[in-house]
Amino acid sequence: MFSPSEVYLVSALHDTDTNMKGLEKRLGAKSGNLRFADEALLTATLGVARGAVSPLALLNVGADAPSVILVLDEAMKEHAALCFHPMDSAATVSLALADFTKFLNSFESLVPKWIDFKKPLPEAKGGKGGGGGKKGKQQRKGSDQKVTKLGVSATKVGQFDKWYTDTITKAEMIEYYDVSGCYILRPWSYTIWDFIKDWFDAEIKKLGVQNCYFPIFVTQKALCAEEDHIEGFAAEVAWVTKSGQSELAEPIAVRPTSETIMYPAYAKWIRSHRDLPMRLNQWNNVVRWEFKHPVPFLRSREFLWQEGHTAFATKAEADKEVKQILDLYKGIYETLLCVPVIQGVKSEEEKFAGGLYTTTIEAFIPTNGRGIQAATSHCLGTNFSDIFGIEFEDVDKQQKKVWQNSWGCTTRSIGVAVMVHGDDKGLVLPPRVAPLQVVIVPIYKGTPEEKAALDTQCELVQQALIGVGIRSKFDNRQDRRPGWKYNHWELKGVPVRIEVGAKDLETKTAMFVRRDTGAKETVPRGNIAGRTTALLATIQTEMLQRATEIRDARVTWAEDWKAFMGGINAQNMVRAPWCEDKACEENVKVKSAEGFNPEDGGENQLSGKVKSLCIPFDQPRSTEGMKCVCPGCPNQPRRWTLFGRSY
């Protein structure tokens, strides 16, 4: 960050709120004077690129560089060790706090500015919320969220990147790890993955798919056997080159995907038409050493997924399965996660490297107007069977190559659901994947006998819910007030809260509160199980309906470049007539990025380039008589294509 005369190098813990307006107040800078440094200034002053800025970059500051002021988070002093990027976002180094202090002391003229970001922001003169007035006292008394700092500290609109990371960490979905781009999935998020896994696993087994497991390592020879395939992953492959202190005779790669690991075995196992179809799937991890800014769930260096690899005697069989699997992926997003998706086929430029064609489901993040690839199902044709010699003898005793597919869906799905449904209070989880569907909160007042009566009633409510298969929790913690519990479970996205107080005991009722809408209703004690079952089903349906309505309102149609960019700059996805030529697609990327401010991409440094997201299967309009949307393109459009800025 920099002001007109100085560069501020700000380093803070990952969960510290360092928003720009707050920094201006804490540093005493004039409003609007502080802004993010561009790439050229970072390189010239600190010798690093975006995403790799840390106090270690002080080593690169030259005598002719602008004045650099180091701003540090006071909370860093509470940790025995600190992790930084060592001039490169692809690596992380851990320093003991004592060693970090020695490093700072090695700069004679450096006096770091330590800031306690936990302290309230200084109020402007004449401002209203200073805390001495009556209104300020009422606010502090009535808000457990402010007192405990339990809730999300950023707003979804305006601070989206900060909101997202704040939400998934405070809701106990993710814990950061000391290898950059790798994350710990805590039980709250892994349980959601379990629901996805169990549903999809049951569905593919109905199709005759069997689960298996192959090793994580692949030889260099096998990985490089398919040139287009390795070219598509070359920059992301992680290599193992040493065992202990000894160099390996040949480097081995950690799988970015498993085609080249599995297919040599397929060549051994498939000999006859009787061996087909072969339909295998594995639930595993893969490593893709992303050099972009990592984002938990969405773009990480290690992630969980399932990958299906199948072989058939004919193309017709392979084509049928590609669509079957894509429909199941749509089911994961729409039936389980309440996230609407658009089905289609990828362009030649965007398809899976080495495949014949790629089908996809594309989701949309309304808050920042970005499309996101949700899952893909590929037809590989006979490309890999040619390379690995996967042949079978048909009924006519003729040798033929098998037709192959591969398909995968990842833990990215969890991040997409968080972004689509979450609000300023935190997560909003669809009931079918919520680790807890209902939390029961007693409102304790009065005598110990009255509290005991409340406990008994809440336990009866929970037993009734368990009896109809509803995942529930009775939160009877004595050291937490009801308001604190409300904030806690809202942050974690539990779909329904049931409140039981002294008056509810008298009236033989309970208060139901929906997480998604905040709507409240009083439910008779005898109908609690039935009403909860119905309400959870209603929430599931309405969450998908709302998300679909929002998404549909953000898909515009454009027949010329002006309307196209108007839709894109309004943070929409755009359907436009397109010729499907590779050169034209590259031209769209170049032209759409002109004038794009990198800061508009957010903290995650998302690109301003527009690309084809998919060519939707649904083509309700004809392109006859139209021109390709890209200006200057002489080709006739073939189909309406969905374009957008994306993750």
Average pLDDT on 636-644 reads 97
Note the CATH architecture for domain 555-644.
2-Layer Sandwich (3.30)
Mean pLDDT, to the nearest integer, of 92-121?
A: 81
Q: How does DSSP classify residue 351?
A: S
Q: How confident is the model at residue 45 (pLDDT cuts 50, 70, 90)?
A: confident
Q: What is the pLDDT averaged over residues 262-287?
A: 97
Residue 359, pLDDT above cutoff 90: yes
Identify how many contiguous H helices and E strands the chain contains and give both numbers: 19, 28
The 3 state secondary structure assigned to 235-271 is HHCEEEEEECCEEEEEEEEECCCCHHHHHHHHHHHCC
How much is the pLDDT for 153? 87
* 436-455: average pLDDT: 94
**Residue 354: what pLDDT?**
85
Residue 143 binned pLDDT confidence (cut-offs 50, 70, 90): very low
CA of residue 589 relative to chain centroid, distance: 24
| Amino acid in the structure at residue 66 | P
pLDDT of residue 346: 98
Q: How far apart are CA 330 and CA 160, in angstroms?
A: 26
The class that CATH gives domain 438-551 is alpha beta
pLDDT tops 70 at residue 229 = no
Q: Give the least confident one: 26-35, 102-111, 468-477, 608-617.
A: 26-35
Looking at the predicted structure, is the pLDDT value of residue 521 above 60?
yes
149 by Cβ neighbours in 10 Å (0-12 / 13-18 / 19+) ranks as exposed
Residue 232 has pLDDT above 80, yes or no: no
pLDDT, averaged across the chain: 89
How would residue 68 be classed by pLDDT, with cut points 50, 70 and 90? confident
- Answer for the pair 372, 366: CB distance below 8 angstroms, yes or no: no
Query: End-to-end alpha-carbon separation of the chain, Å?
Result: 24
- Give 610-638 pLDDT, tens digit per residue: 999 999 999 999 999 999 999 999 999 99
Q: What is the mean pLDDT of residues 40-46?
A: 76
pLDDT given for residue 291 in this prediction: 63
pLDDT reading at 478 higher than 50: yes
pLDDT at residue 133, rounded to an integer: 39
pLDDT, position 94: 77
Q: What's the pLDDT score for residue 309?
A: 98
Q: What is the pLDDT of residue 466?
A: 97
**pLDDT (0 to 100) of residue 90:** 58
Q: Is the pLDDT of residue 303 over 90?
A: yes
Better-predicted residue by pLDDT, 603 or 494: 494
pTM of the model: 0.78
The pLDDT assigned to 17 comes to: 77
- As to burial, measured by CB atoms within 10 angstroms (0-12 exposed, 13-18 middle, 19+ buried), residue 319 is middle
The pLDDT of residue 103: 86
How many C-beta atoms surround the C-beta of residue 575 within 10 A?
Answer: 28
Give the integer Cα–Cα distance in Å for 404 and 169. Answer: 40
Alpha helices in 468-527 (DSSP H): 482-491, 502-507
Cα(55)–Cα(73) distance, integer angstroms: 12
Residue that wins the pLDDT comparison between 184 and 228: 184
Q: What is the CA radius of gyration of the chain?
A: 28
- Per-residue confidence (pLDDT) for residue 125, from 0 to 100: 46
pLDDT at 384: 94
Q: What is the mean pLDDT of residues 230-253?
A: 87
> Residue 545 — pLDDT band, cuts 50, 70, 90?
very high
Report which of residues 25 and 199 the model is more confident about: 199
Query: Minimum mean pLDDT among 114-128, 251-265, 471-485, 561-575: which range?
Result: 114-128
Q: Looking at residue 89, what is its pLDDT?
A: 59
Tokens matching residue 345: 């086929």
Does 255 score more than 60 pLDDT? yes
Task: Write down the domain spans for the chain.
Answer: 7-125, 192-421, 438-551, 555-644
Residues 182, 190: Cα–Cα separation, whole Å: 15
Say if residues 344 and 438 touch (Cβ distance below 8 Å).
Answer: no
Q: Please check whether the domain covering 192-421 is classified as CATH 3.30.70.260.
A: no
**What's the rounded mean pLDDT across residues 273-294?**
91
Average confidence (pLDDT) over 343-365 = 96
pLDDT for the residue numbered 123: 59
Per-residue pLDDT tens digits for 337-349: 999 999 999 999 9
Q: What is the pLDDT of residues 24-40, one digit of tens each?
A: 888 877 666 777 777 67
Q: How far apart are alpha carbons 484 and 65 in whole angstroms?
A: 49
Confidence grade of residue 132 (pLDDT, cut at 50, 70, 90): very low
* Per-residue confidence (pLDDT) for residue 63, from 0 to 100: 65
For the domain spanning 7-125, the CATH number is 3.90.960.10
Considering only 1-5, 136-140, 355-359, 531-535, which range has the smallest mean pLDDT?
136-140
Say what the pLDDT of residue 24 is: 81
H or E segment to which residue 147 belongs: helix 144-148
Residue 136 has pLDDT above 50, yes or no: no
